[in-house]
Amino acid sequence: MSSPLIIATLAAGLSGFSPPVIDVPSAVVRVDSDCGQAAAEVVAKTGGELLSVQPTSDGQCVVTVLIPGNGGRPKKVTMRVPM
């Protein structure tokens, strides 16, 4: 099912009007740096495979790695690391 906002935006775009501006500053988190180095450190430290990495609003990175098991399932490890 299509959203009424999407339909209205599409109709306005086709008719030559500009789409409405939606300002949502609280949903956007600006980060001065990235989590690349933090992820690389966790992967090197654990010997695991990077699964995901996410920056947090408090300047840390949440890094999740999969560590291979001995013939079994890999172990999922999540670490919070400063950026």
> Which H or E element spans position 62?
strand 60-67
For 34, residues 6+ apart whose C-beta sits below 8 A from its C-beta are: 55, 83
Spell out the per-residue pLDDT of the chain, length 83, in tens: 567 777 776 776 666 666 567 665 555 555 556 888 889 999 999 998 999 999 888 889 999 999 988 888 889 999 999 88
pTM of the predicted model as reported, rounded to 2 decimal places? 0.58
The dihedral sign for the CA sequence 17, 22, 23, 27: negative
38: closest CA among 58, 15, 64, 74? 64
